[in-house]
Amino acid sequence: MKRSFPSGHEKRKRKQPQSELQEQQADMSAASCLLSEDQFLCSICLDVFTDPVSTPCGHNFCKNCINEHWNSNDHYLCPMCKKAFNTRPELQINTLFSEVVSQFRQEAQQKASSSSSEQQAAKPGEVPCDVCTGTKLKALKSCLVCLTSYCETHLEPHLTKSGLKRHQLINPVENLEDRMCMKHDKPLELFCKTDQTCVCMLCSVLDHKTHDFVPLKEEYEGKKAELGKTEAEIQEMIQKRRLKIQEIKHSVDLSKEAADREKAEGVQVFTALMKSVERGKKKIINSINKKQKKTEKQAEDFIKELEQEISELKKRSSEVEKLSHSEDHLHLLLNFPSLKAAPPTKDWTEVSVHPSYEGTVVKALAQLKETCSKQMKKLFEAELKRVQQYAVDVTLDPDTAHPDLILSDDGKQVYDSDVTKNLPDNPERFSDCVNVLGKQSLSSGRFYFEVQVKEKTDWDLGVARESINRKGDITVIPEEGYWTIGLANGNEYEAVDDPPVRLSLKSQPQKVGVFVDYEEGLVSFYDVDASALIYSFTGCSFTEKLYPYFSPSLNDGGKNSAPLIICPVNQTE
């Protein structure tokens, strides 16, 4: 029996469902690989075809795109070749082309997915891609035409398509709608120098037509240059503040060193005082004990002597008693004279024991006080040396001087002349009180200066704040902005407070030192020659500039004609 074989046609027909379909898919995949993305873009929407259809002239469009195009026009023209149709053409679906487009879209999505996995998701503070539907990737650029931000994948059309290449891309920014004119819905492309604002092209011909305009880029360059200058100024400010930080840290280090020295000195002083007190205590105890022993020895001697006399008196008493009972007349008469004589005893009436401790403690305290005074003097000498390190070169300000005052040419001396000069009554000048301020001011830190007050009977010295009243009668107290001490009537010293504080000084100062610690709120006065503290204002609250204050007081018919003299500070080691 002859065997029959199917023809070639029949063989191919039977394997069509599997092999031939696979071949077609392979052919389409290969075709999609060979074709560029431009060939899969609709010329209307410039995106990959969606439901592609063909016109009778053979061109492909998205079904929705071509329908909307023809719906919005009176004539049916092909957007590609401009061929006109009398009636609306019937659109054909190219099955093979649709499958190729579908395959291309699928591969593009896979590629985008693979690319997305390599790209970074937008972090807080970063601009996200506006096109990503799932995880928002970090945008690489923003388009000022599309008002959209794109990640690397979605940015590709703007880099490859001729129509999109003309769009202006910038580094990614948020709120792209802010770059559109609110009134005309056009991009802000110009800068109105008249109104100092960004405007669109329509604004320049409608609302700002007489104004001065420049392109944004030109204004940008100018502002960028200003920002560069500002940045340089900021960096300079930063540097200054860094230097100030170093200065403050250095000050802290110096302060710590000073604190350590002060503690060491304090420990040394108080240790010496404690030793002195301990020595004084031992000395007074020894002295009292010595006196007590002396008293006890004296009492013991008196008692011994008295007991001896009592013994002798008892013996005599026995002899007297025995003789008095004798019946021998001759014996009594012969011995009576010797017994009748007074016994050899002294008068004890004025004899007494008086312990003498009075003044012992007082003397010890007087010695301790003398020791403390010596230590205090050493401390004040050391303190004066420290404050003298902050000496400033103070000169008198003639614009503040009362018209009766005479200032030396070098601005270092001042006295009252009793003659009023014709000077302009500027706001800084004292009008009624014979006062003058120094030119130098202090708004932080410390300063020190010295003034000779020799041969004067009245004067005031100190510091005053900038806003003090300088016209009419003046109340020189801290509440009014003055921190001063003064001399009146040749021997009455006081700190000018409310009420005044009378100062009792061992000697009359010939040279007075004035020290101010602004942050500490301290104003101290020193007798320079005696190295003694005269008075301190503490707990002051300074909020404005302080100036050295001088009042030589009235001439008083020549009795107080000596000048106040600002002296150079002799910083002795």
Q: Each residue of 336-375: pLDDT tens digit?
A: 877 766 665 677 877 887 766 666 777 777 877 777 777 7
In degrees, rounded to 5, the angle at the alpha carbon of residue 27 between the alpha carbons of residues 26 and 30 is: 85
Instruction: Give pLDDT, residue 408.
Output: 96
Q: Out of 53-67, 216-230, 454-468, give the one with best mean pLDDT.
A: 454-468
Q: Residue 489 — very low, low, confident or very high, per pLDDT cuts 50/70/90?
A: very high
Q: Is the pLDDT of residue 11 over 50?
A: no
Under DSSP, the state recorded for 19 is I
Burial class (CB in 10 A: 0-12, 13-18, 19+), 31: middle
The verdict on whether omega for the bond into residue 427 sits within 30 degrees of 0, i.e. cis, is no
Instruction: Give pLDDT, residue 3.
Output: 35
Backbone angles phi, psi at 533, to 5 degrees: -80, 125
Measured between alpha carbons, how far is 486 from 20 in angstroms, rounded to an integer? 121
Instruction: Give pLDDT, residue 343.
Output: 64
Burial class (CB in 10 A: 0-12, 13-18, 19+), 234: exposed
Distance, first Cα to last Cα, the chain:
141
Q: Is the pLDDT of residue 21 over 50?
A: no
Selection from 357, 359, 367, 362 nearest residue 279 by Cα: 367
Helix (H) or strand (E) holding 378: helix 360-388
Q: Are strands 84-85 and 564-567 parallel, antiparallel or unpaired?
A: unpaired
Phi-psi group of 518: left, alpha or beta (phi > 0 → left; psi -120 to 50 → alpha; rest → beta): alpha
| 356 or 291, which is more confident | 291
Instruction: Give pLDDT, residue 32.
Output: 44
Q: Residue 454 — very low, low, confident or very high, per pLDDT cuts 50/70/90?
A: very high
> What is the mean pLDDT of the segment spanning 507-533?
94
Instruction: Give pLDDT, residue 340.
Output: 66
Question: What digits encode the pLDDT tens for the residues 97-132?
Answer: 888 888 877 776 666 555 545 567 878 888 999 888
The percent of residues above 70 in pLDDT, for the chain, comes to: 89
| 207 or 523, which is more confident | 523
Residue-averaged pLDDT of the chain: 84
> What is the mean pLDDT of the segment spanning 4-13?
36
Q: Which value, to the nearest 10 degrees, does the dihedral of the CA atoms of residues 484, 488, 492, 498 take?
A: -40
Instruction: Give pLDDT, residue 108.
Output: 66
Instruction: Give pLDDT, residue 111.
Output: 63
Amino acid at 497: D
Q: Is the pLDDT of residue 8 over 60?
A: no
Selection from 416, 419, 397, 420 nearest residue 406 by Cα: 416
Q: CB neighbours (10 Å) of residue 451?
A: 23
Q: Residue 268 — very low, low, confident or very high, per pLDDT cuts 50/70/90?
A: confident
Measured between alpha carbons, how far is 545 from 397 in angstroms, rounded to an integer? 15
| 290 or 464, which is more confident | 464
Instruction: Give pLDDT, residue 18.
Output: 44
Measured between alpha carbons, how far is 109 from 103 in angstroms, rounded to an integer? 10
Strands of the sheet with 197-199, listed across from one edge: 197-199, 190-192, 213-215
- 525's CB contacts (< 8 A; 6+ apart) are 461, 462, 485, 512, 513, 514, 515, 533, 534, 535, 536
Token pair belonging to 275: 């030793």
How many helical (H) and strand (E) elements, i.e. helices and strands, does the chain have?
10, 23
Identify each DSSP E strand in 72-195 by its residue range.
Answer: 76-77, 84-85, 141-143, 148-150, 169-170, 190-192
Q: Which value, to the nearest 10 degrees, does the dihedral of the CA atoms of residues 515, 517, 523, 529 take?
A: -20
Q: In this predicted structure, which of 8-12, 206-210, 224-228, 397-401 has the lowest mean pLDDT? A: 8-12
Instruction: Give pLDDT, residue 15.
Output: 37
Instruction: Give pLDDT, residue 358.
Output: 64
Question: What digits encode the pLDDT tens for the residues 194-250?
Answer: 999 999 888 888 888 789 989 988 988 898 999 999 999 999 999 999 999 998 999
In degrees, rounded to 5, the angle at the alpha carbon of residue 227 between the alpha carbons of residues 224 and 230 is: 160
The percent of residues above 90 in pLDDT, for the chain, comes to: 36
Instruction: Give pLDDT, residue 366.
Output: 80
> What is the mean pLDDT of the segment spanning 467-492?
93
Give me the count of residues in the chain.
573
For residue 294, the cross-strand partners are: none
CB 375 within 8 A of CB 369: no
Q: In this predicted structure, which of 29-43, 221-235, 397-411 has the lowest mean pLDDT? A: 29-43
Q: Is the pLDDT of residue 96 over 90?
A: no
> What is the mean pLDDT of the segment spanning 556-566?
94
Measured between alpha carbons, how far is 132 from 150 in angstroms, rounded to an integer? 8
Q: 461-499 burial, b for 16+ CB within 10 Å, e for fewer?
A: bbbbbeebebeeebebebeebbbbbbbeeeeebbbbbee
Amino acid at 44: I
> What is the mean pLDDT of the segment spanning 71-96?
86
CB 170 within 8 A of CB 148: no
> What is the mean pLDDT of the segment spanning 406-420?
94
The verdict on whether omega for the bond into residue 17 sits within 30 degrees of 0, i.e. cis, is no
Token pair belonging to 124: 């807080």
Place of tokens 């398509």: 161
